[in-house]
Structure 1
Amino acid sequence: MRGLMQDQATAADAYLAWWALAGVDCAMGEAPVDWLSAAPTVTSSPPPGPSAAPAVIQEKPRTLETFLAWLTGDPAQPERRWTGAPILPVGGQNATLMVVTDLPDPADMTEGRLLADRAGDLFDAMLRAIGLDRSMIHLASLFTARPPGGMVEAADLATVATRMRTHVALARPRRLLILGDRTIRALGGANGGAASEGLHDFNHEGGTVPAVATFHPRLLLTQPAAKAECWRALQSLIEEPRP
């Protein structure tokens, strides 16, 4: 009789041990358990590697050549977010006149040059009226490409305005012509943010340059009455330089 009980006790212990190995360690639990789910795996974290090297701060361009290279190759420029090949400034240093517009028009992006199509024809006529042509000027735009819909963010406008002041300082033109309301507002204008008929000092990183602000040729095409005011602004560019 005692041997039978010992055999039953041994069988019971083996039975309980089997269920324990299967994960059943109590008759009833407070929370449900998904016994069919895979057991969680424990992964060891890799040892910490060397700390990342600090970001390299690119040196500010000090010449017109390095500025143009930076304008083309720097991935942080706002134009990198848009499609279309950039239209870079043309002209060298110490030009008789530097002309700054806001951004390329659709026709400009198609032709790959600033102030193309009918607006460009009118611009060329404006230059001829003061005895100049494109080969004698430095021509640039705040933005080197055109964003979707021609709409720009205020933060981007502030960025390119600062960039343009560096550009003017490195180009060192004798006079500056600012075209268009958006360009005038971004750069502070030659007369507090408005089109002007006379020369005013434009502040840049290297000092000042005589400047005048007037209408963009694209506006003159739709509002011919503004041409008289524009002509008065252009006349100030052919006055004798102030001492």
Structure 2
Amino acid sequence: MIATRARVKGGAVLGFDNSSAGTFAGQLAAINAWWADAGVDHLFDDEPQALLREKAASPEAMPKAVERSAEAAAQPVPSFDASTLPTSLEAFASWWLDPATELPLAHGRRIAARGVAAAPLMVLVPMPEANDGDRLLDGEQGRLIANVLRALGLAEEQVYFASALPCPTTMPDWPGLARAGLAAITAHHIALAAPERVLVLGDAMGQMLGLTQGQGQLTDIPALAARAPEHLLAHPRQRARLWRALLDWMPRL
């Protein structure tokens, strides 16, 4: 690299004669002007320099950051008493839709599950679709799921459809919701529905229920965890992967 705009060795500028101080100064100015015309207007060095050093946090700001972190950690995590949950699927549906029931992220119009108890299959999704009306999964995601079920030989009347959240929500904090009681509510809902098997769509949903992608168990109910409906819509390869997993899973039950 170039040490300066003009490199000097042994009292001479490379490529120029410096027989006199005046000539040397003129030649040095000419070299610098040449480099400037070439677009080099900063000094360079052979050793790399950290030009974008991060500024150290000011001592005044650090205590405030520590205080904010401590305050956030000290906030109590909401809990849910599982003993107060309804004991029948019909009662659970009424409880779910009741505005007086304090469900996590129930900030809009609630949409109920649909189907019958003891169905051959329960499909559990993270939340209703944004454009759902009175019927859960009434949009594009629902059509995708219905097509998959039809290909498996299942009519919608044979399937229990449910969501973990009562309303569409943008970027929910699933770990926080699980601690707030959503995991217990969802597990209780599955137990009341008592399906023969459960298809859990959504990585966060599976993690909340203790499942990873693939086959597993929810208490004594066989379960299959896969990607969320919106992810399946956007990625054909994931749809193909789900189909292969379903074909492998169904004959075993």
Structure 1 unmatched runs, 5+ = 1-56
| Structure of greater Rg | 1
Residue of structure 1 aligned with 2:101, choices 67, 71, 75: 75
1:44-193 paired onto structure 2 within 5 Å? 59-73=84-98, 74-80=100-106, 82-83=107-108, 85-108=109-132, 111-147=133-169, 149-152=170-173, 154-158=175-179, 159-189=181-211, 193=212
For structure 1, which segment, 118-127 or 165-174, has the greater mean C-alpha deviation from structure 2 after superposition?
A: 118-127
Contact 1:175 1:237 survives alignment (8 Å): no
Amino acid at match of 1:87: I
TM-score normalised to structure 2 length: 0.61
Q: CA deviation at 1:72?
A: 2.2
Aligned-residue CA RMSD in angstroms? 2.1
CA distance in 1, matches of 2:224, 2:85: 28
Q: Cα deviation per residue 1:7-55 (whole Å; 9 max; x = unaligned)?
A: xxxxxxxxxxxxxxxxxxxxxxxxxxxxxxxxxxxxxxxxxxxxxxxxx
Q: How many residues align?
A: 170
Provide the rounded CA distance (Å) in 1 between the counterparts of 2:83 and 2:172: 29
Write the distance in 2 (CA, Å) between the matches of 1:112 and 1:130. 26
Deviates further, 128-137 or 93-102: 128-137
- The amino acid that maps onto 1:93 is A
Distance 1:58 1:182 in 2: 25
Alignment of 1:231-242 (within 5 A): 231-241=243-253
The aligned counterpart of 1:7 is none
Give the TM-score, by structure 1 length.
0.63
**Gaps in structure 2 of 5+ consecutive residues:** 1-81
Deviation at 1:67? 1.7
Counterpart of 2:240 in structure 1 is 228
**Corresponding residue for residue 216 of structure 1:** 228
Equivalent AA in structure 2 for residue 211 of structure 1: A
Runs of 4+ in 1 over 6 A off after TM superposition: none
- CA, structure 1 residues 168+153, in 2 after alignment: closer, same or farther (shift >3 Å)? closer
Q: Deviations over 1:52-81 (max 9, x none)?
A: xxxxx984321111222222224322244x
Q: Which amino acid aligns with 2:198?
A: L
